[in-house]
Amino acid sequence: MTWVYRYEKGTLSAREREVVEEVPVVLNVNGRELATLIASPHDLRFLVAGFLRMQGLVQSVEDFHLLSVCSDFGMAKVEIRGELPESLKPVLTSGCGTGISFTIPKARQVNPEGTAGKSYRPAAVFAMMDALAQKAGAYQSHGGIHSAAVGDGSVALFSEDLGRHNTIDRIAGEALLKGVDLKGMMLVTSGRISTELVAKAALLGIGLVASRTSPTSTAVRMAEEAGVTVIGYVKADRFEAYSHPDRLDLVGAT
C-alpha cells in the first residue's frame, strides 16, 4: 500500500491505496541477453514462454530445456532447442510503456488454421466481455492494468498485465505450457486492438478479437488479410465489426 493525497474541492486528504506493480525482467536465452521485459510481477513463466513463442523461437514445451524465472532478481534464464539467429532487430511496439518484438508478422504470412467456416454468436462476444470485466479485479482495485481472455463464450484462459501486448503473450505461454489449443477461440481485451495484437492472435489461430475500445487502421487491414474478425466498441447490447462481419452468426440474434 502507498500513501496518496487526493485533491478535492480545494483540500488534500491522505489515504492508502494499491499502486500497480512493475518489474523489469532480463531475458537470457542460451547464454545471450535477448531483451528486458517490463511487466507485472505475477506468473512470469507464462509471459517468458509466450514471448518466445510469439517470436517464433519455440513451438512446443519440448523446445525448452530450461525455463527459470526469479522475479526477486528480475532475471529469466532459458535454454531452448536450436540456436538463436545471429541478428535480431528489436521493434518497439505500441503497447503501454512500449513493448518489444523481434518480428511482427505480415498478414499474408499468417494462416490461422482451424478457423475456416467458424462463426461466432454475438451473445458469446457479450458473454466473454462481461466475464472479462468480472475477472479484472486488479483494475477495479487500483487501475492502470490491462486484461485479456480467450474462450468460446466462456473464459478458458485469463491474464492481466500493465501492458496489453504482455497479456496476449501470457495467454500464449500459459496455453503452450498447459497444452491448450487456442484455434478458433475468441480473444477479448481491455485495450486498443493494435497491429501486433492482431498478428499474435492470428498466429495462435484465434478467429475473433474484440474490445470495448477501437482497433487501429493497420490492424483492420491486417485482420482482413489474415481472416480475423475484429470487433470494437462492445457495449451492453451492441458493437461495431471492422473486418469479416460474415463470420457473425446472426441466427436468433436480437
Q: Any idea what the CATH number is for the domain that residue 84 is in?
A: 3.10.20.10
Distant-in-sequence contacts of 217-225, Cβ < 8 A, 24+ apart: 219/193, 219/194, 219/195, 221/107, 222/106, 222/107, 222/195, 222/198, 223/107, 223/198, 224/107, 225/107, 225/108, 225/110
At 132-177, the pLDDT tens digits run 988 876 555 555 688 999 999 999 999 999 888 899 999 999 999 9
In this prediction, residue 201 has a pLDDT band, given cuts at 50, 70 and 90, of: very high
Clarify whether residues 100 and 56 are in a common domain: yes
* pLDDT computed for residue 118 by the predictor: 85
Q: Three-class SS of residue 173?
A: helix
Asked if residue 12 belongs to a domain, the reply is no
Question: H or E stretch including 235?
Answer: none
* 61 lies in some domain: yes
Residue 171's pLDDT is 97
Tell me if 110 is assigned to some domain. no
Same domain for 126 and 100: no
69 domain-assigned: yes
Residue 193 DSSP code = B
pTM of the model: 0.84
pLDDT for res 12:
76
Domain that holds residue 200: 122-247
Q: Is 11 contained in some domain?
A: no
Q: In the chain, what percentage of residues exceed pLDDT 70? A: 82
* Digit-coded pLDDT (tens) for 11-37: 878 888 777 788 889 999 999 888 888
Could you tell me if residue 205 is inside a domain? Answer: yes
Question: Is 109 a residue whose pLDDT tops 60?
Answer: no
Inform me whether the pLDDT recorded for 112 exceeds 70.
Answer: no
Domain finish residue from 104, 131, 165: 104
Residue 101: the pLDDT is: 52
Burial of 63: CB neighbours in 10 Å, binned 0-12, 13-18, 19+ = middle
Mean pLDDT within 114-143? 79
- Give the CATH number for residue 165: 3.40.140.10
Same domain, 145 and 240: yes
Whether residues 43 and 159 fall in one domain: no
> Is 4 part of any domain?
no
Mean model confidence pLDDT for the chain: 84
Average pLDDT over residues 238-244: 92
Domain count, the chain: 2
- Is there a domain that residue 8 lies in? no
- As given in the structure block, the three cell numbers for residue 119 are 462463426
Residues 133 and 60 in one domain: no
Residue showing cell 497479456: 167
Same domain, 170 and 96: no
